[in-house]
């Protein structure tokens, strides 16, 4: 059985990992600071004063935070404490950075209507941090293009991708060229994934996973769900060899290279939100609604355990180095789970 080890009040925020860069500490954001705490002992590791801060996906060995004050956004690396850049203008809604720290992507969405429920326009741009010049810029507006839904950059900073409502734009950052424009149903963070070698872009189009060869612009599809179902989740294993996809009470695991289905699994609940690889322990975690976690075997999809993790929906899961623990979060709290007794 999987056991709860401890709970931390405060979470990393929406769509942010609960695990700090060292692979052993929980990443906790409160009203006036960001802190990391050892998952095994609960003791504080480090603390960073950061009022009104937001965390964003950053390089694999860093934590990126944005702090907006007086018409300017300061982006900092919390590990080194260095300011990466100051960007004047409206608050930034999306930030992405390549693993090699060469490229920074920033996006702004503007909202209209009662309580800001409508998108009216957006801007998306990618910058060469070493030379302080813009690679690429895009502006969209109107009902067909007013929402910036996701943007991603490859680990080596060679390629990027942007989605806005029904449009996908893959980009070659080397020459600032838009590779193409395709209609797409990818409209959520996590629907775009680059392979580590930057050769392919995986896109969740709900009815299947599209794999775009960035050199040839050829597209192949796999991971088609059963009839009448759609895909809500896309994840690639750390070694790039497997793809996990699922939704609406169903999940499947594929070989990336051949597209062969390794296994598929139906769940009693009718909806699946997200899925994550717990690669070192050999497990996969998937989430139905209302904070539940289903832990299954990577090998054959067999059930390992089912836990009620949070009152609210789970937004992220991460495995610690060595695979002894995994962390879950609903963006407002973090729980640490012991995997040593799981069979």
Which pLDDT score is estimated for 270?
63
Between the CA of residue 21 and those of 24, 75, 90, 178, 329, what are the distances in Å?
8, 17, 29, 32, 16
Nearest 5°: phi and psi at 179?
-65, -40
Mean pLDDT of 216-242: 86
Long-range (24+ apart) CB contacts under 8 A made by 252-258 are 252/223, 252/225, 253/284, 253/298, 253/301, 254/222, 254/223, 256/195
What values do phi and psi take at 114, rounded to 5? -65, 125
- Domain residue limits, the chain: 93-222
Does residue 5 surpass a pLDDT of 90? yes
Residue whose tokens read 């806005």 = 164
The predicted structure's pLDDT at residue 73: 87
pLDDT digits (tens, 9 = 90+) for 191-224: 999 998 999 999 999 888 999 999 999 999 887 7
Q: Looking at the predicted structure, is the pLDDT value of residue 61 above 70? A: no
* Residue 59 pLDDT exceeds 70: no
Instruction: Give the mean model confidence (pLDDT) for residues 222-227.
Output: 77
CATH match of 93-222 with 3.40.50.10090 = no
């Amino acid at each position: 059985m999987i056991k709860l080890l401890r709970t931390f009040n405060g979470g990393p925020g929406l769509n942010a990992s609960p695990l700090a860069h060292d692979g052993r500490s929980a990443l906790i954001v409160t009203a006036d600071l960001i802190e990391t705490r050892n998952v095994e002992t609960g003791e504080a590791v480090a603390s960073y004063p950061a009022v009104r801060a937001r965390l964003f996906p950053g390089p694999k060995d860093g934590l990126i935070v944005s702090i907006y004050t007086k018409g300017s956004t300061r982006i900092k690396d919390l590990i080194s404490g260095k300011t990466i850049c100051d960007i004047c203008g409206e608050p930034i809604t999306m930030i992405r950075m390549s693993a090699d720290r060469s490229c920074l992507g920033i996006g702004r969405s503007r909202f209209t209507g009662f309580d800001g429920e409508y998108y009216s326009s957006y801007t998306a741009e990618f910058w060469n941090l070493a030379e302080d010049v813009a690679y690429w810029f895009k502006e969209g507006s109107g009902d067909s293009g007013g929402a910036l839904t996701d943007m991603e950059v490859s680990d080596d900073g060679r390629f990027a991708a942007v989605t806005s409502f029904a449009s996908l734009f893959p980009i070659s950052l080397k020459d600032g060229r838009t590779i193409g424009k395709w209609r797409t149903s990818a409209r959520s963070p996590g629907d775009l994934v680059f392979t580590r070698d930057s050769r392919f872009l995986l896109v969740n189009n709900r009815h299947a996973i599209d794999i775009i060869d960035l050199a040839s612009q050829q597209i192949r599809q796999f991971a088609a769900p059963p009839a009448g179902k759609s895909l809500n989740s896309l994840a690639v294993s750390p070694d790039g060899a497997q793809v996990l996809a699922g939704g609406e009470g169903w999940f499947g695991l594929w070989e990336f290279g051949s597209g062969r289905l390794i296994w598929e699994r139906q769940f009693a609940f009718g909806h699946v939100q997200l899925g994550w690889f717990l690669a070192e322990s050999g497990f996969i975690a998937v989430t139905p609604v209302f904070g539940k976690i289903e832990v299954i075997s990577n090998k054959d999809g067999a059930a390992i355990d089912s836990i009620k993790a949070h009152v609210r929906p789970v937004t992220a899961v991460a495995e610690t180095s060595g695979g002894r623990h995994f962390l879950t979060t609903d963006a407002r709290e973090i729980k640490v789970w012991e995997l040593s007794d799981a069979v």
